[in-house]
Amino acid sequence: MSHDHEHAPGHVHRRWLHRVRHTLTPHSHDTAAKVDAALESSRAGMRALWISLAVLTATAAAQATVVVFAGSVALLGDTLHNVADALTAVPLGIAFWLGRRAATRAYTYGFGRAEDLAGIVIVLVVAASAAASASVAVQRLLEPRPMTHLPWVAAAGIIGFAGNELVARYRIAVGRRIGSAALVADGLHARTDGFASLAVVLAAGGAALGWRWSDPVIGLIITAAIIVVLKDAAREVYRRLMDRVEPALVDHAERELRLIPGVRDIAGLRMRWVGHHLHAEAAVVVDAGLSLMAAHEIAADAEHQLTHHVPRLTEAVVHAAPDTHPADHHLRISPAGV
């Protein structure tokens, strides 16, 4: 097979334009750019945590005020639950703080994986919440207790639902934007707690109708809902710990690599999450007759394009491998050879 098409004037022109653009465009894989992106996402995560902490603290304070004069045990449990949820910001805050530290000789990838450890803590907190909810619900079912000041209890339950739902929406949105599985898991946790607060309203309505069993039965239903969300949060954290990435991201990265002038094939591509940032390692096949400098330019251009066009990819290492079987390669990819 002839390779004359490799040196066609149009192809050479496109290659030189690509090299000029690569030289003049700021490289996102430069150290300063990568650090700035990491700091910005960490700041967004910390901001989400502090705002969530403030909202949940205000929610718990409002509920505690009602508990003082209403004396509702159910509302007291929900209040304590919201206080515990506010405290989940602590492990995440520590993780984001650690993630901003520079890599060391011992931790060459940095400390982004601290978020995954925080995700494990959050999953354990959700599991403990489910166990506590089930325990209290069963106890209430065996030993029913009357509820008083029902309108105030219902109002406090609505406050708890609104506060938790606001926190859930904010945490999930920020977590998905910056790629933090731990923050998304914490947002899902807040959402289940909102429904737990709403259950207080339903329990108050049932008590108003004289259904003393309504409180523990609704509590068991909410426990089941918490278990479902626990499964989703645990699966998200597990996937992150196992270095899973969405196949669509891998496909997107491969398409970008194949668009690079001089790349004949992709010998390998691996991607992994480190905290809420993606790292990629790839091997691209290039013409075996290229000089070392030309092969390096293709690899550098590939790194540049990947970090610019793949979402949340902040670092890419691309190795250029020589095409040792050019005839077989063209027979495989050329429509004329099919």
- Residue where one domain finishes, among candidates 241, 260, 278: 241
- Residue where one domain finishes, among candidates 241, 266, 287: 241
Whether residues 89 and 165 share a domain: the answer is yes
Write the CATH number for 173: 1.20.1510.10
Whether residues 144 and 230 share a domain: the answer is yes
Q: For the residues 74-95, what does the mean pLDDT come to?
A: 77
The confidence band for 46, taking pLDDT boundaries of 50, 70 and 90, is confident
The confidence band for 71, taking pLDDT boundaries of 50, 70 and 90, is low
Residue with the larger pLDDT of the pair 173 and 24: 173
| Domain span including residue 297 | 245-337
Whether residues 262 and 146 share a domain: the answer is no
**For position 40, what pLDDT does the model report?**
56
Whether residues 94 and 195 share a domain: the answer is yes
Is 63 among the domain residues? yes
Whether residues 168 and 282 share a domain: the answer is no
**For position 251, what pLDDT does the model report?**
94
Domains of the chain: total: 2
Is 17 among the domain residues? no
- pLDDT, one tens digit per residue, over 178-225 is 877 778 877 887 887 887 788 788 878 887 888 877 777 777 777 777
Whether residues 164 and 200 share a domain: the answer is yes
Instruction: Say whether pTM exceeds 0.85.
Output: no
The confidence band for 20, taking pLDDT boundaries of 50, 70 and 90, is very low
300, 264 in Cβ contact below 8 A? no
Q: For the residues 30-34, what does the mean pLDDT come to?
A: 37
Whether residues 82 and 152 share a domain: the answer is yes
Is 192 among the domain residues? yes
Q: Is the pLDDT of residue 266 over 60?
A: yes
Is 136 among the domain residues? yes
- Residue where one domain finishes, among candidates 225, 241, 257: 241
The confidence band for 10, taking pLDDT boundaries of 50, 70 and 90, is very low
Q: Is the pLDDT of residue 233 over 90?
A: no
The confidence band for 22, taking pLDDT boundaries of 50, 70 and 90, is very low
- pLDDT, one tens digit per residue, over 118-168 is 889 888 887 887 787 778 778 877 877 776 788 888 999 999 999 999 999
Whether residues 176 and 160 share a domain: the answer is yes
